[in-house]
Amino acid sequence: MNSADVWTTAPATAVLVLSDGTTIKGQGLGATGTATGEVCFNTAMTGYQEIMTDPSYAGQIITFTFPHIGNTGANDEDVETVDMSAVQGACGMIIRADVTNPSNYRALQHLDKWLKDRGIIGLCGVDTRALTALIRDKGMPNAVISHNETGSFDVDALKKQASDWAGLEGADLAKDVTTKSTYEWKETVWQWDEGFADKQNDAFHVVAVDFGVKRNILRLLVNAGCKVTVVPASTSAEEILAHKPDGVFLSNGPGDPAATGIYAVPMVQQLVKNGLPIFGICLGHQILALALGGKTQKMHQGHHGANHPVHDHTTGKVEITSMNHGFAVDAQTLPEGIEETHVSLFDGTNCGLQMKSAPVFSVQHHPEASPGPQDSHYLFDRFIENMRQHKAR
CA distance 343 to 364: 9
**What average pLDDT does this structure show over 349-367?**
98
| Catalytic residue from among 282, 308, 319, 342 | 282
What letter represents residue 302's amino acid? G
Task: Note whether 70 and 100 are within 8 A (CB).
Answer: yes
Annotation marks residue 282 as catalytic:
yes
- The crossing angle, in degrees rounded to 10, of helices 257-274 and 283-291 is 60
Tell me which of 1.10.3720.10, 1.10.1040.10, 3.40.1580.10, 3.50.30.20 is the CATH number of domain 5-164: 3.50.30.20
Residue 285 designated active-site? no
Residues near 252 by beta carbon (within 8 Å), at least 6 away in sequence: 54, 55, 56, 211, 212, 213, 214, 217, 281, 282, 283, 284, 324, 366
The reply to whether the predicted model has a pTM over 0.75 is yes
* SS3 category, 170: coil
Percent of the chain with pLDDT over 70: 96
Report pLDDT digits (tens) over 111-148: 999 999 999 999 999 999 999 999 999 999 999 999 99
- DSSP for residue 56: G
Degrees (nearest 5) of the Cα angle 92, 40, 352? 125
Render pLDDT for 203-212 as a digit per residue (tens, 0 to 9): 999 999 999 9
pLDDT at 2 over 50: no
CATH class, domain 174-392, is alpha beta
pLDDT tens column, 168-195: 999 999 999 999 999 999 999 988 888 8
**What is the model's pLDDT at position 87?**
67
Confidence of residue 355 (pLDDT cuts 50, 70, 90): very high
Enumerate the domain spans of the chain.
Answer: 5-164, 174-392
**What are the tens digits of pLDDT across the range 278-323?**
999 999 999 999 999 999 999 999 999 999 999 999 999 999 999 9
pLDDT at 191: 86
Give the pLDDT band of residue 85 (cuts 50, 70, 90). Answer: low
- For residue 9, what pLDDT is reported? 54
Is 366 an annotated catalytic residue? Answer: yes
Bridge partners (DSSP) of residue 324 are: 304
